[in-house]
Structure 1
Amino acid sequence: MSHFLGIDVGTGSARAGVFDHTGTLLASAKRDIEVWREAGDMVEQSSNDIWRAVCAATREAVAQSGVAPEAIAGIGFDATCSLVVRDRQGGQLSVSTTGDKRWDTIVWLDHRAIAEADECTASGHAVLNYVGGVMSPEMATPKLMWLKRNLPETWNEAGYLFDLTDFLTWQATGSLARSQCTLTAKWTYLAHEEAGWRRDFFALVGLGDLFEHGNLPEKASPVGAYIGQLTAQAAAELGLSEKCRVGAGVIDAYAGALGVLGGFAGDQQDIGRHLALIAGTSSCVMAMSPDPQPFAGVWGPYYGAALPRLWLSEGGQSATGALLDHIIRWHGAGGEPDAAMHAKIARRVAELRATEGDNLAARLHVLPDFHGNRSPLADPHAVGVVSGLTLDSSFDSLCKLYWRTAVGIALGVRHVLEALNENGYLIDTLHVTGGHTKNPLLMELYADATGCTVIEPLADEAVLLGTGMIAATAAGLFPDLNAACLAMQQGGRKRASNPKSSGRFDRDYKVFLEMHRQRRMLDAIR
């Protein structure tokens, strides 16, 4: 048994990949997941539907790989940081105002709990020192507060509360173990302290009975730790052997961080020069260091949330790929934002740039906070701004707006980078993975607009690779997660920044910062 299965559950699909002990991806498969949207920034899913997609993708990937099911020695899971609610018998409970029990999962990007997040921030509790000083509505605590206040019947019946990754390991093994990654990054668990839970914080925000409803352990399980074998039912549904071992998983972006930064697991000092950029629907940036680097506006520092004995700081942008999709739908010359449309726009942008050069849409500027500013402002109330519009409604005007939106997204990464480097990091290299690697405009901009060297992983599925590393660790092939990361890392292609572009993007960045300042001024007018 020398093969491993990585399972990645994103916002819209579940993917499964089969790896060998060198980290080579032998086969992968994907299944879509239902998403239910309600008014008021409410986004929900069904954990049963997610598990169905996981099982179908797994069976197809294993069949395509040619590996015998009994040769799959371990499984690693990653998933979005969504909240799953189950009753005391383990059945589904509704998190929806419709009352439909099928919708038992509040999706990570759901912003129904902004008011509750503000209350957490206003509490001034010490746990906020490890989330950048500001509670986000994307974290578990405000969502739980909203649930208790607005759906009291669901709250009273709840017997299990899971981050989605931990739900998947529970579904696979029956174990109530929770990952150090999920609890530390999203549930205010302080992994560096002997007593990780600050129960007084939950009492302060009206969740003093959380532990009566959540079945939460006192201690979190380190990433990759063996937590159990597949149950007979899970093995049958996945098409695998009951001897298959399951490891404590991670949030999806953290799997990407393992996949692209795993090669530096043995170099605790140099790893601080490298930033993981996991970029798809949204974007996450992750930096690691041997010492904590706390500061406002960036989540963390989280101890052991990815690699052991390292502190992790997480920033990000709440809508990036989703924003480019929105621009296409929004514009009169747009349409369905599928891969063909994105490629068509990129080709036309290249033609326009060949003619107009650096002056292409130079007066058009986009502040990309259409779904709030996750970092470095930590302001979920922030809104997007577009300056420089005209009456032009042609396809070329869409291409120009798309291009300048992509510039704004890259400048947002630069903004986060500056915050990190002003607070103890010395980052000069970006390791990019996710859907953005398929967008040539963004890949060029990440290098040129930030001035950093960009590394694109050779592994086509770096997020899946990270979960494969977890699977191999849980299976016992390697003595620890660091060893698995070093043995299975795949390297990457290097793209240097173009020094001739620095002046243009320095100017754009000055405008970008000025737009932030002017937005604050407008918001202050009463």
Structure 2
Amino acid sequence: MSSTHIASHRSFTNPFGLSLKNLTKLQDVNAPDPIYYVGVDVGTGSARAAVVDQTGAILGLAERPITRNELKANHITQSSTEIWESICYCTKTAIGNSHIDPSFVLGIGFDATCSLVAINEKTDEPIAVGPDFTDDLENIILWMDHRADVETDEINATGDESLKYVGGKMSIEMELPKMKWLKNHLPKDTETGKSLFESCKFYDLADFLTHKATGKETRSFCSTVCKQGFIPDGITNRNGWSSDFLLKVDLPELVEDNFRRLGGLPGVTGTYLSAGETVGALTEVAAEELGLTTNCYVGSGVIDAYAGWIGTVAAQTEVPIPDMVEQDKNLFGMAQASGRLAAVAGTSTCHICLDEKEIFVEGVWGPYRDVMAKGYWLAEGGQSCTGALLAHVLSTHPAYTELGVASEASGLSRFDFLNSRLEALKKNTKERSVVALAKHLFFYGDFHGNRSPIADPHMRASIIGQSMDVSIDALAIEYLAACEFIGQQTRHIIEKMEVSGYKINAVFMSGGQCRNGLLMRLLADCTGLPIVIPRYIDASVVFGAAMLGAVAAEDALKALGDGPKSRRNSTASHMTETKDEQPPSPYTAPSATASMTSISALAAGNMQSNFPFPIMTPIEDESKQLGYKSVDDSEEEDEGDELISFGSKSKTQESATQSFMNKRKPMKSAPAPRKASNATRPGDKLWKVMTELSGVGRIIFPSNQNDPDRKLLNTKYKIFKDQIETQQKYRAMVDKTEEAISNYLNI
């Protein structure tokens, strides 16, 4: 980036305190300019975008809330139009905050929730998905929508072999039940008299975003295999979609013209890609809306939890993990990800693990092939509520108001206050440890059903050992028991996976729950495994999406004639005064305690005086630990909406391309951290990007097996499993009685 280009940024704020004059002098005029990548993540409640450089540093990050509507119970919808507009806003804002030339962004990747998008085939415009069929803007059935219960049962009743690869049966949260519901409920077109269903084409949300960005109908293996019943070629005698299966479930419309509404027949009328493989360049329209250029290539997208896997499992650790080191001696490339379980935590938690062979785990979704790379299999377990569970426990307790007052007075988040309260309780009661405070409280927390490993949506919570104590201390102990439940259920999932053939060496966490030291310690001691806290806690998912863009950027380089040549680090890495050492980056602190909102504010130059890192408010910290934004965050995002307008700076694509080529400078001698890869094995390009950008993670090792807390937690794990069996037994007894009563009354 030239000194002239830097000077053009009049609002440039340097977080390290160097003057613009000094910064200009520090540029190496003979070094080539850097390449940047953009990651876009669409969660349940917000969209976000991050700008990442070739060292893996996040230079700019922006987040904006998105709405969801529930006009009728279990009918939860969103708008693809609003989501795309939010993505464009976040991308422009993140680029503006990072103060880079957008013509140097050569790769972009998308991840999103596994939600169904309905689009009109002829117009490429949204189609309403109900319950208000007059509102075409509401064209997404959200993943957590549970309207299709009847359709789900009908699909699973077929016993089709496709179900074998989605954990034995389809979940109500998957896409095919939602499509079947639309077949049954979409109204007729007033002009043709045909059902509007016949006008639809369907996308998983991540695939819709790559379609919106490139204009192509390319689909991802991640979306189609994980959520729609697609089986990659060579696994069975089917190649992709099964006409037999779709006809069994009364969806002949989806079979028409080689499955055109689903993306087409693989290798004939449809293209299906693994994570990060190049879909194509941005269209001129999309480039203009995103504030980028058509030199930017789009990597095949993934479901959000899988982006969390990408953004965490390749992290190096500050201390070697012996089992992982031993395993990696005989493995290469993507195979080294084997045994690294990603726990992507938020409102709920997903548990994802990769292997070179297919491993079936009862109650766990998958195994899914080709999702990350051709020939590799992934399994996905999950907990229906984790962040939501902790929020529920706190908000429904009689001492909740008292907790709010006390935590505010102490200047701590509610979680940090409760953790300190438990420490005080241990001393006051002379109890052996904090864990022992809940030794006689048996908390089973499946308030929202069980996703894994028993896959029972009818499971509910049961709590044994409660008293009439409604004090803040009683709340602290119940909160402790809820954290313990999250750890025990994680152990249950891992145990089932290992019995089936997986070997898990470590758990790579992500999400705001990583900040909760009590919860992380319980996870380590319940599972007996090291817990790895990533470089970016809140941003690991959007960081993973940026890695998809980094893979695609290699094709952009080749198209621009760069080939596999090396390139230098980002401008930020050259911002030194007189010495060669690089100043500490506020985005790469080993503790990774900056929230997404704080990172975004920091990138805009909003630094606290005399403090090198952004300070999180207690409320902000709480919302991040629970897996969602605070109300304050949402209001702040809206305020600046009309003030930011970056666009593509009115340049034509031709001039943008010429500008990029003119600004590139020949490489001298310094090697760059990112090169175009010559790897030929499946997944090697993605794994190379992951290992080079991920950085170092912090480890929490489990206590010794003979530690009293480990022994207590082992005993309580037996009680945890007994609570599951007892609840299912009691339900079966009652259901049998009710069936007998019903038969008697019908006589």
TM-score range normalised by the length of the shorter chain:
over 0.9
Q: Please, what is the CA RMSD of the aligned residues?
A: 2.2
What is the Cα deviation at residue 170 of structure 1?
1.1
Q: Is the 8 A contact 2:127 2:200 kept in 1?
A: no
Counterpart in the other structure of 1:305: 371
How far off its partner does 1:466 sit? Answer: 1.5
Q: Deviations over 1:96-115 (max 9, x none)?
A: 21333232111112222233
Q: Does 1:261 align with 2:313?
A: yes
Matched, 1:272 2:338: yes
Q: 1:371-450 residue pairs with structure 2 within 5 A?
A: 371-450=448-527
Please list every run of 5 or more consecutive structure 2 residues that lacks an aligned counterpart in the other structure: 1-33, 189-194, 267-271, 316-327, 555-675, 679-684, 738-747
CA contact 1:268–1:290 (8 Å) conserved in 2: no
Pair 1:363 & 2:463 matched? no
Q: Distance in 1 between matches of 2:45 and 2:422?
A: 28
Choose the corresponding residue for 2:687, options 482, 485, 488.
Answer: 482
Which amino acid is 1:77 matched to?
F
Aligned to 1:329: 395
**How far apart in 2 are the matches of 1:151 and 1:332?**
45
Identify the match of residue 421 of structure 2 among 305, 328, 348. Answer: 348
> Offset of 1:77 from its aligned partner?
0.3
User: Larger deviation: 336-345 or 158-167?
Assistant: 336-345
Q: Which residue of 1 aligns with 2:596?
A: none
Compute the displacement of 1:309 (Å).
2.7
8 Å contact kept, 2:202–2:261 = yes
Partner of 1:4: 37
Q: What is the alpha-carbon distance in structure 2 between the residues aligned to residue 308 and residue 2 of structure 1?
A: 27
Q: Which has the higher contact order (CA 8 A, sep 6+)?
A: 2
Aligned positions, number: 526
2:711 equivalent to 1:503: yes
| 1:94 lines up with 2:128 in the alignment | yes
Instruction: Give how far 1:209 is off.
Output: 1.1
Max radius of gyration: which structure? 2
User: Are 1:40 and 2:106 an aligned pair?
Assistant: no
For residues 96 and 341 of structure 1, what CA distance do their matches in structure 2 show?
Answer: 39
Contact 1:266–1:482 under 8 Å retained in 2? no
Deviations 1:287-323 (A, max 9, x none): 1111100132111111121244311111011111112
1:74-124 CA distance string (max 9 Å, x none)? 100001101111223122222221333232111112222233222222211
Partner of 1:142: 177
Q: 1:209 maps to what in 2?
A: 253
CA distance in 1 between partners of 2:305 and 2:51 (Å): 19
The amino acid across from 1:125 in the alignment is D
- Would you say 1:467 and 2:511 are equivalent positions? no
Match in the other structure for 1:161: 202
In structure 2, give the amino acid aligned to 1:236. E
Residue matched to 2:228? 187
Distance change in 2, residues 1:266/1:111 (3 Å): farther
Query: 370-379 or 153-162: which moved more?
Result: 153-162
- Once residues 497 and 174 of structure 1 are traced to their aligned partners in structure 2, the CA distance between those partners, rounded to angstroms, is 49
2:282 pairs with one of 230, 240, 259: 230
**Structure 1 residue 211: Cα displacement:** 4.4
What is residue 84 of structure 2 aligned with on the other side? 51
AA at the equivalent of 1:514: D
Q: Mind listing any 5+ residue stretches in structure 1 that lack a counterpart? A: none
What letter matches 1:132 in structure 2? G
Work out whether 1:133 is the aligned partner of 2:133: no
Choose 154-163 or 417-426, whichever is displaced more: 154-163
In percent, how many aligned pairs have the same letter? Answer: 37
How far the C-alpha of 1:35 sits from its partner, in A, is 1.6
Q: Could you say what secondary structure the match of 2:509 adopts?
A: strand
2:663 paired residue number: none
Offset, 1:440:
2.1
Structure holding more strand per residue: 1
Tell me what 2:698 maps to.
493
Structure 1 Cα separation of the partners of residues 380 and 42 of structure 2: 20
> What letter matches 2:549 in structure 1?
A
Distance between the aligned counterparts of 1:274 and 1:222, measured in 2? 19
Which shifted more, 251-260 or 147-156? 147-156
Q: Secondary structure at the match of 2:400?
A: coil
TM-score by length of 1: 0.95
Deviations 1:448-475 (A, max 9, x none): 1111111111234221221121101111
Q: What CA distance in whole angstroms lies between the structure 1 residues aligned with 2:547 and 2:530?
A: 25
SS of the equivalent of 2:107 reads: strand
Measure how far apart 1:57 and its partner are.
1.1
C-alpha distance in structure 2 between counterparts of 1:485 and 1:247, whole Å: 14
> Does structure 1 conserve the Cα–Cα contact (< 8 Å) formed by 2:243 and 2:255?
no
Alpha-carbon distance in 2 for matches of 1:354, 1:426: 39
| TM-score (normalised: structure 2) | 0.67
Once the two structures are overlaid, the 10-residue window that deviates more, 254-263 or 314-323, is 254-263
- Measured after TM superposition, the shift of residue 523 of structure 1 is 1.0
SS in 1 for 2:500: coil
Structure 1, 312-321 or 453-462: larger mean CA deviation: 453-462
How far apart in 2 are the matches of 1:159 and 1:242?
29
- Give the Cα–Cα distance (whole angstroms) in 1 for the partners of residues 419 and 137 of structure 2: 39
- For 1:256, the aligned partner's letter is G
Give, in angstroms, the shift of residue 36 of structure 1: 1.4
Q: In the alignment, residue 385 of structure 1 is paired with which amino acid?
A: S
| Displacement of 1:273 | 2.4
**CA distance in 2: counterparts of 1:491 and 1:351, whole angstroms:** 33
Shift of 1:361: 2.8
State which of 252, 265, 288 in structure 1 corresponds to 2:354.
288
Q: Distance in 1 between matches of 2:415 and 2:487?
A: 17
Q: Per the alignment, do residues 349 and 307 of structure 1 end up closer, same or farther by CA in structure 2, a change over 3 Å counting?
A: farther
Q: 1:147 to 1:347 in 2, by over 3 A?
A: farther
Aligned to 1:197: 241
Deviation at residue 53 of structure 1 after TM alignment: 1.5
* 1:198–1:77 distance in 2 versus 1, CA, 3 Å: same
CA distance in 2 between counterparts of 1:353 and 1:87 reads 61
